[in-house]
Amino acid sequence: MNALVLCINSPQNTLGKKFNITNGEPVRLWDWVKKLCDHLDLVYPQRQISFPLAMTAAAVMEGIYRLLPGQPEPPLTRYTVSVIAQSTTLDITASRNSLGYQPGVGMDEGLSRFAQWWKENQK
């Protein structure tokens, strides 16, 4: 069942609480990016830069974009660098226990569905 519907129908004691909603599977980001590249026939990135260099580049981009009115978010931010460089797995125990949430689609199935949609919709 959709997590939002579960939230709408949840008991009063869940009001104001925050819940992580994922499919419950820990994922190693770069292994998953490799699978995605394979599904989409893309070249997997081979080059790497250090974390400090990526953070510096992101900070410079943020500074430049801050000075340019009307510009969207820069293509690289310190937040993005942190998310990509650090390992994070969200615990969905509270969602399961308080809302009755059960993930509906696993990573492999979701990746296959996305790749199929992408190929059908890219022109």
Spans of all domains in the chain:
28-88
Q: Of 97, 94, 98, 93, give the one whose Cα is nearest residue 11.
A: 98
pTM (two decimals): 0.70
Q: Of 48, 52, 39, 46, give the one whose Cα is nearest residue 107.
A: 39
Question: What are the pLDDT tens digits along the chain (123 aa)?
Answer: 588 999 999 989 998 999 999 988 888 888 999 999 999 999 999 999 999 999 999 999 999 999 988 888 899 999 999 988 988 889 999 999 999 999 988 899 999 999 999 999 986
